[in-house]
Every structure is written in structure tokens, then in C-alpha cells.
Amino acid sequence: MDIMTESEINECFAFASTIAKEAGKVISSAFYKEKDIETKAGVADLVTKSDKEVEKLLFDSIRSKFPSHKLIGEESVSAGDVSPHTNDPTWIIDPIDGTTNFVHRFPYVAVCIGFTYNKEIKFGVVYNPILDELYTAKRGTGAFLNGTRIHVSQEPDLRKCLVMTECGSSRDDVVMAKLFENMQSVLSTPVHTIHSLGSAAMNACMVAKGAAEAYYEFGPHCWDFCAAGIIVEEAGGVLMNGDGGPFDLMARQIIAANNPEVGKSLAKRLVQQISFPHDCQ
């Protein structure tokens, strides 16, 4: 395993912001054009030529500069290239988080670049090129939106919260019944409302900048929220699993909240825990 210094992590962090902007140019140029669309696990699990193009651009750039680092990406995993998550320096990438939004020209899409070392998230970059919003965070240094520091909401009462979630891409009747039972339970708290932007990263970034108090979801992958997760933490928020237990990046469930009280209160309202196979096993 490579032994990394703080200076080397800083170099990777700066590089991540640069290549996120380059990837954003590819997304922006294709956003209002017709797309070549394919499906993966189901009719609601979409992929486009741009997803693959952006991931290749990011992978090629990283391999050229940091040839010994590991890479985990949504499209490469979908194609069967499954790498275990190790202590090595690892880039965890979603080329276009919110592909369905991208297909429909709904402007909540993001390039997501997370980085782990010793299995700890060290930094994250989330770039929405359509809105030109660059969210960044490195552990211990705060979270930023276009260079301006951001903070989570200070609201302590779940009943006064705006909560983000997603229905996911599964259309299995049992899974959907559990999803809707959880939604009904959360709404009956009652919270102010539930919103959905169609992007795990964008939902989490709403929490980071104080536009929402919490985000929960069962079924997303590590590349969906690795980068955004540390942005939430560095903005003063917390991460936990869907049952309120310690956060596990590979467990495919997440609560991102502005504080532990809201997170724990939300976990108690999630009456149906939904299990998915762990990532990178």
C-alpha cells in the first residue's frame, strides 16, 4: 500500500477539482442534445454514452497522474470490473449522478469524485456543471460551494425539517411497498415536507448547505454518496446507516443529517429497513 502524506492528499484534492470541471464540459455539451440511452439492472436504471465517456475521461486522467491508485467507478462496476475496497488510495467515482435527470434535461446532475485512504473518506468533489455549482470538502478543513464556506441547518426538531429521499431504480413490489411505508411514516411525524432531486449527491449537498435538514435512502451505491458524504460532515453534519448505526460506505444505505438528534429521530421513523448486497465485495 502507498503511504500517503498530507501534501500528497492535497495534490489529489486539487487535481479532483480540475478534472471534475473537465468532465463537466462533456456533460454540459451533451445536456440539451438527444441521448443514446441503455438500461442496466431495470427499466429505471439508465446509462448513456456520456456516462461512459465521462468515466473514461476521469479514469484515464487519474491513471496517468497516479498510476498506483485504485479506481472504483459506477460504469466499470456495471460492466463487471468489481474491485474490492482496500486501504490503498482509492478514487470512487460517479461520472453522472442523476442520469435520469440528464436524459430528461432536469438540471440536477453531478460529477462525483470521492477519495479514500485506509478506507476513510479524505475528500470529495461534487460538480453540477448545469448550475455551475462546485461543492468541495477535505477532511478537517470545512465544506465549500464555489469557494464560499457552507454550513448545515441548526434546526434540532425533525418536525420542522425538510427531508430529502429517493425512490431508487428498483420496481420490485416488495421494495416499493417498504419505500412508501417509510415515506408515510416520515411524513406522519410530521416533517415539513419530503423532496427528491433525482440525485443522491445533490440531495446530500442540500443538507450540507442548509437547504434541507436530512437525506435518507436505501439502495444507493458508494459512488453515489462518497464525495457528498464528506461534504455533509465537513459542513457540520453527520452520516449514519439507515437504522441510526455507524455509517458504512459500502452498506448501500445512508442517513445524512444536520445533527445527530435529527438523524436519530429520522432513523426511528424508518420502520422498514431494506437490505441490498454490499458494494465492492
Give the active site residue among 96, 113, 150, 230.
96
- 32, 117 in Cβ contact below 8 A? no
pLDDT in tens, 188-236: 999 999 999 999 999 999 999 999 999 999 999 999 999 999 999 999 9
Give the active site residue among 97, 166, 213, 279.
97
97 is catalytic: yes
243 is catalytic: no
36 is catalytic: no
224 is catalytic: yes
Task: Please indicate whether the domains covering 6-150 and 158-269 agree at the CATH topology level.
Answer: no
Q: What is the DSSP letter of 231?
A: H
pLDDT in tens, 64-83: 999 999 999 988 887 677 77
What cell numbers appear for 36 in the block? Answer: 443514446
Main-chain dihedrals φ then ψ at residue 133, nearest 5 degrees:
-115, 120
Q: Would you say residue 1 has pLDDT above 60?
A: no
Q: Would you say residue 254 has pLDDT above 90?
A: yes
Domain 6-150 matching CATH 3.30.540.10: the answer reads yes
Give the active site residue among 19, 55, 72, 74.
74
Give the active site residue among 75, 155, 166, 224.
224
157 is catalytic: no
- Give the distance, in angstroms, between the CA of residue 232 and the centroid of all CA atoms in the same chain: 10
248 is catalytic: no
- 229, 114 in Cβ contact below 8 A? yes
CA 253/CA 243 separation, integer angstroms: 9
Residue 21: which residues within 8 A CB-CB, separation 6 or more?
127, 129, 134
Q: Would you say residue 33 has pLDDT above 80?
A: yes
Ranges of each domain in the chain = 6-150, 158-269
Give the active site residue among 94, 155, 217, 234.
94
Residue 135: C-alpha distances to residues 147, 187, 210, 229, 265 (Å):
8, 29, 13, 11, 27
- 85, 120 in Cβ contact below 8 A? no
Give the active site residue among 51, 72, 75, 99.
99
Question: How are beta strands 110-117 and 133-138 bridged, if at all?
Answer: unpaired
The CATH number of the domain covering residues in 158-269: 3.40.190.80
Distance from first CA to last CA of the chain, Å, rounded?
19
